[in-house]
Structure 1
Amino acid sequence: MADPTTYRPAPGTIPTDPGVYKFRDAHRRVVYVGKAKNLRSRLTSYFADLATLHPRTRQMVTTAASVEWTVVSTEVEALQLEYNWIKEFDPRFNVRYRDDKSYPMLAVTMNEEYPRVFVYRGARKPGVRYFGPYAHAWAIRETVDLLTRVFPVRTCSNGVFRRSAAMGRPCLLGYIDKCAAPCVDRVDAATHRQIAEDFCDFLAGRTDSLIRRLEKEMLAASEDLDFERAARLRDDVSALRRAMEKQAVVLGDGTDADVIALVGDELETSVAVFHVRDGRVRGERGWVVEVQENATLGDQVGTFLLQFYGEELEMSSGVPREVLVPELPDDHLELAQWLSGRRGSRVSLRVPQRGDKRTLAETVERNAAEALNRHKLKRAGDLTTRSAALTELQAALGMDEAPLRIECIDISHVQGTDVVASLVVFEDGLPRKSDYRHYAIREAAGDGRSDDVASIAEVTRRRFLRHRSDRVPDPAVSDAVEPDADNGGDLAPEAAIDPKTGRPRRFAYPPNLFVVDGGQPQVHAAAAVLDELGVADVAVIGLAKRLEEVWLPGDDEPVILPRNSEALFLLQRIRDEAHRFAINFHRSKRSKRMTASALDGIPGLGATRRTALVTHFGSVARLKDATIEQIAQVPGIGKTTARTVHEALGGAAIPDSPESPDSPPTKTPERTSQ
């Protein structure tokens, strides 16, 4: 625990201009980012008596080891810089708006040659249009089922699409006219893209023009006595009207707005957002977060707007013309200017006072209150549970401080084959999936035998060698202390920021606790590697599955945690997550090996060509049924190699045909070294 007085800057050195500041810990990680109209006034408040600070602020200033700031010209610049730094450094003490559940979206991959529609959860990708979020996945599927009758865009995966194209037959949806079947060239790429764009236009709210167009086509077909087409268009119009009826009209003037409500107590705040487009509720979202210290309702609104519209720009809805909030933050003019820049046109940020918008805001507020009540009932004590688990671990293992960063490794194999390992990372009791890593074991792979102890030693060595390579000497002491790669005790203080990119290095700092899946032998193997590398500030334990015993290096008896212990529950979660991650990687690696094993040893067929063949035909079984001409159509496969593959897989040998005088001689490619 650091003493804030050791890094407190002299008050006269802090400017009184607006700016953005960063607190860093001893490993140079950014732990908090903030902005201020007056940097001197704001930063001085952090160095008051610790007893008078909010608990979260007190923990932050004692975790930090330095503070730095950047002066800007205007508050809008400060707002933009704060957002950029929060997004880049992901500081652990900044409030993060996490969904209280995972909301499904409707995604349309406009970046593909043949766009497809599917249910999606996760980070948004460029070139993909998203609609929603929806409360339930079945609501998306019901909507898609209605709309594909009118807009037959493909909904199949890329694998099914390629398989149908190879067989020359569409899937069931193609036969029942719920897919235009571009896989078998019923429509070309341009026509299918137009269908996808009409699908997106309807979901984006441009419904009236589409219905009017279909009604005109229906009347024209009726006048031409094409009654079958007219009846089909009539059914299409009915399907579109049914889809529209599922979205209630809440604002009759066709307003585009986001309505935001915040309801909270002294510990947590619930945030609810209704996305209203063209007067209809297109989606809703909710979050439950810890209350910011000494923050007013306006301050919380400002923080939410900065994070939400900074991250959600890629959504199809984007930033609307109006943002309705329960209270305006102090810097609402700067926020409105920033939102207008994100949208590209003027955005109104205001509090609804009367009429339909005020009524809708009250409805959103009731939803936020209900979400907070559900969260309290479902996850009562969750915030204190993680803290209790880390505190219990600290006491049980005799650590100087709570293990805020825990890493765990697990080994997976089948009778010594395809040996792999996983490393998972938990920070503050929560998984940090961006730092997860896979390892293919090198030492055990050559002899075909399983040695979990040696595998754990290898993974431990590779992980902490990466830690050593990522460390950067502190310029302030690099001239006085010569870093020694073989002696961890003589290293200068490290920086976790890459000087070339300016971004944090994920493994430039060690974990507080390193967990291995296993008992005494595994723990001793990991501890021996750390001793060899001179790593002395990392605690190592093993969690044995049989009795859930916790083993410490050098101890003959394990530590037994109570069965109802929050610390044991946290260790089990971490170990199970490492096991799941390792199993998934092992299965994928084993599947790839078994798929390509039938092609091993064929002359002229290296890894790249094997992959190309399996990708093109979908499986080795289909490759066996292919003719030489079909195999030769795969990019990179000549006719001679195609004949070799065909014969090696059991096909009948075909005599060489005489080459024409104009054709160049065929050269057998050399076999790729494996």
Structure 2
Amino acid sequence: MADPSSYRPKPGQIPDSPGVYKFRDEHGRVIYVGKAKSLRQRLSSYFQDLAGLHPRTRTMVTTAASVEWTVVSTEVEALQLEYSWIKEFDPRFNVKYRDDKSYPSLAVTMGEEFPRVQVMRGPKKKGVRYFGPYAHAWAIRETVDLMLRVFPVRTCSSGVFKRSAQIGRPCLLGYIGKCSAPCVGRVTPEEHRELADDFCDFMAGRTGTYLRRLEQRMHEAAEEMEYEKAARLRDDLEALRRAMEKNAVVLADATDADLIAVAEDELEAAVQIFHVRGGRVRGQRGWVTDKVEAVDTAGLVEHALQQLYGEEKGDSVPKEVLVPALPDPALPVTQWLTERRGARVDLRIPQRGDKKDLMATVQRNAGQALALHKTKRASDLTTRSRALEEIAEALGLDTAPLRVECFDISHLQGQDVVASMVVFEDGLARKSEYRRFQIKSFAGQDDVRSMHEVIGRRFRRYLAEKQKTGEWEERPEGAAEGAPEDAIEGFTGGAVPAEGREDDGRPKRFAYPPQLVVVDGGRPQVAAAKRALDELGIEDVAVCGLAKRLEEVWLPDEEDPVVLPRTSEGLYLLQRVRDEAHRFAISYQRSKRARTLKAGPLDAVAGLGDTRKRALIKHFGSVKRLRAATIEQICETPGIGRKTAETIVAALAASAPAPAVNTATGEIMDGAEE
């Protein structure tokens, strides 16, 4: 626990102007980001008597080891910079809303030659019009199914569309009248785009004019005694009205507004948002957060607005935003929303009428969401806490290990040896911290040496970055490929220079030490990990190993393992950590194996695809053994005939490396092929 007075700025150092500030812990990690109209007044409030601070604020300032700030010109700039930093650094003491589900939207791909109607999730794409989000995908599909009768827009995938165009026959929807079949030329691209525009206009709320026009056409057809046409238009009207009934009319026509409600207690808060477009509820979202900082309802509303509109622009920001409490001050937030939309946005609290009644409905939804979340979360949170306490007690740790790192080694008969590092914080996986390693100092099935190398490399990086002398940053799981894998020691992707990283405040990925290191293995692997830590002089990191056979927990320098009960939550958490490390290592090893196959001598065999290559390697175990096999033995592999086997033998013989010769004796050296 740090003393806030040890890093308190000197009097007069803090400017009396708007700005954004960051608190960092002893490892340089940003733990809190805030903004202020006056940096001097706000920061001074953190360095008063600890007894007078809110418990969460007290925890934050005693966890921090330094504070820094950036001066801006206006409060709007401060709001924008605060949002950018929260998104970049993910501070642990800031309010972070978590979507309680992945919400689908109805999307129309207007950027394509023949726009397609479909259900989409995830980030928004350019050239696509979105409606929603909706609570359920099936609700979107039911609405679209009703509207396709009137607006027969394409809904098929690109593959189905191309296939129908090639064979000259539409899919089933084209035959039953729910698609205009542009794939076979029944309509021109211009006519199909007009259908898509009408569909979008109707979904955007401009329904009255279209319904009146359709009804007029129905009466005209009846007067001209075209009864079949009139009946079809009547059915179209009924289908559209049924689709409209799925979104109740709640506000005056053409009203575009988002209604935000908050339900909270001392520890958590739930936010519910209703999206009203054209006077109808077009979508709903819900977030839940832990109140890790001292924040009131107005502060929660401000954070929700940042989360909701931080990436939105244009019409995605509505004309009106109704909230239960206004941020303090409200003017900068209103100006920020206006800039996002490009037109005036009204941010206010509804006082009377239909909007106040609808806000009460949103508030009830928020209360129910919070109650449901607490019901689901209570056992999970309690279980994780109990698991960490059991691990601490079993291993003799002073405190619960809030950050656990697990390492695993993977290879295929000594080839392509790799290692994985997975990170669990507070009992939950933190995949952005995962790392992958290549073992290049030697080859073979020596997991103990591999474990010693990986632990040493990981903590050497920690010590280097702690001293701010590291020059490279490893790529997390899922990052884009980059430079060759041997760019630096232990590197598994694109080499990213860290020059300037410290200046912009982004700490290194290996700068955070764990409280516990778990290795996949027994006593030898644990001893190797402990030896690596001892060689680096690291004494404040505990080590244990989890052996698969009997799920025994091994500790360094102990003759006998620790046996946790099978029903122990601590054992279950260790198993999950170990299994995740094993999964991550296996996936990396398989990807390397696939690249090895593509670059191997089997590529020279004409007509031999990836499936049969994998079958050959699986059957023989290595190219070396395959090269030594006879034609009859190769034919035993599933999918390999005699002619193919003869081709394989000839190709491998042509690509065989020349044997190494002892220059002194003239004899061929054994094992030269390895």
Which structure 2 residues correspond to residues 112-127 of structure 1 after superposition, within 5 A?
A: 115-127=115-127
Match of 1:552 among 555, 558, 566: 555
Match of 2:523 among 502, 520, 525: 520
1:84 equivalent to 2:84? Answer: yes
Which structure 2 residues correspond to residues 128-143 of structure 1 after superposition, within 5 A?
A: 128-143=128-143
Which structure 2 residues correspond to residues 138-157 of structure 1 after superposition, within 5 A?
A: 138-157=138-157
1:203 equivalent to 2:198? Answer: no
Report the residue type matching 2:270 in the other structure: S
Residues 56, 294 of structure 2: 8 Å contact kept: no
User: What RMSD, in angstroms, separates the aligned Cα atoms of the two structures?
Assistant: 4.5
Provide closer, same or farther for how the CA distance between residues 160 and 382 of structure 1 changes in structure 2, counting only shifts above 3 A. same
Distance (Å, rounded) in 2 between the aligned partners of 1:60 and 1:181: 61
Shift in Å, 1:246 = 0.6
Distance (Å, rounded) in 1 between the aligned partners of 2:179 and 2:510: 47
TM-score, L = length of structure 1: 0.73
Residues 57, 294 of structure 2: 8 Å contact kept: no
Deviations 1:84-135 (A, max 9, x none): 2112211111011112333333344445565544434444445444332222
Distance (Å, rounded) in 2 between the aligned partners of 1:440 and 1:148: 54
- Residue 376 of structure 1 is matched in structure 2 by 374
Residues 95, 293 of structure 2: 8 Å contact kept: no
Shift in Å, 1:271 = 1.6
Q: Match of 1:304, SS?
A: helix
Q: Match of 1:206, SS?
A: coil
Distance (Å, rounded) in 2 between the aligned partners of 1:455 and 1:247: 60
Greater mean deviation of Cα atoms: 544-553 or 130-139: 544-553
- Residue 5 of structure 2 is matched in structure 1 by 5
Deviations 1:366-416 (A, max 9, x none): 111112222222222555554454454444434465433333345667888
Which structure 2 residues correspond to residues 206-355 of structure 1 after superposition, within 5 A?
A: 206-211=206-211, 234-291=234-291, 293-311=293-311, 313=312, 318-355=316-353
Report the residue type matching 2:355 in the other structure: K
Report the residue type matching 1:205 in the other structure: G
Which structure 2 residues correspond to residues 500-579 of structure 1 after superposition, within 5 A?
A: 503-527=506-530, 538-579=541-582
Q: Match of 2:577, SS?
A: helix
Which structure 2 residues correspond to residues 637-652 of structure 1 after superposition, within 5 A?
A: none
Q: Match of 1:379, SS?
A: helix
- Residue 356 of structure 2 is matched in structure 1 by 358
Aligned-pair identity in percent equals 66
- Residue 473 of structure 1 is matched in structure 2 by 468
Match of 2:423 among 414, 422, 425: 425
- Residue 482 of structure 2 is matched in structure 1 by none
Q: Match of 1:13, SS?
A: coil
Provide closer, same or farther for how the CA distance between residues 265 and 20 of structure 1 changes in structure 2, counting only shifts above 3 A. same
Greater mean deviation of Cα atoms: 464-473 or 145-154: 464-473
- Residue 485 of structure 2 is matched in structure 1 by none
Shift in Å, 1:288 = 2.4
Shift in Å, 1:425 = 3.0
1:32 equivalent to 2:28? Answer: no
Deviations 1:416-454 (A, max 9, x none): 88877654333333333334456677789x88xx76656
- Residue 104 of structure 1 is matched in structure 2 by 104
Shift in Å, 1:509 = 3.7
Provide closer, same or farther for how the CA distance between residues 519 and 130 of structure 1 changes in structure 2, counting only shifts above 3 A. farther
Residues 260, 324 of structure 2: 8 Å contact kept: yes
Greater mean deviation of Cα atoms: 585-594 or 111-120: 585-594
Provide closer, same or farther for how the CA distance between residues 194 and 425 of structure 1 changes in structure 2, counting only shifts above 3 A. farther
Residues 497, 504 of structure 1: 8 Å contact kept: no
Greater mean deviation of Cα atoms: 194-203 or 52-61: 194-203
Shift in Å, 1:571 = 3.0
Shift in Å, 1:520 = 3.1
Greater mean deviation of Cα atoms: 413-422 or 389-398: 413-422
Distance (Å, rounded) in 2 between the aligned partners of 1:278 and 1:588: 50
Shift in Å, 1:525 = 4.6
**Any stretches of 5+ residues in structure 2 without a counterpart?**
471-487, 490-497, 612-642, 645-654, 656-674
Distance (Å, rounded) in 2 between the aligned partners of 1:465 and 1:181: 63
TM-score, L = length of structure 2: 0.73
Deviations 1:237-269 (A, max 9, x none): 432222111100111343211112112222222
Residues 93, 293 of structure 2: 8 Å contact kept: no
Match of 2:603 among 595, 600, 603: 600
Greater mean deviation of Cα atoms: 5-14 or 207-216: 207-216
Provide closer, same or farther for how the CA distance between residues 59 and 294 of structure 1 changes in structure 2, counting only shifts above 3 A. closer
- Residue 21 of structure 1 is matched in structure 2 by 21
Q: Match of 1:5, SS?
A: helix
Report the residue type matching 2:72 in the other structure: V
Provide closer, same or farther for how the CA distance between residues 264 and 83 of structure 1 changes in structure 2, counting only shifts above 3 A. same
Residues 11, 44 of structure 1: 8 Å contact kept: no
Shift in Å, 1:61 = 1.8
Provide closer, same or farther for how the CA distance between residues 176 and 204 of structure 1 changes in structure 2, counting only shifts above 3 A. same
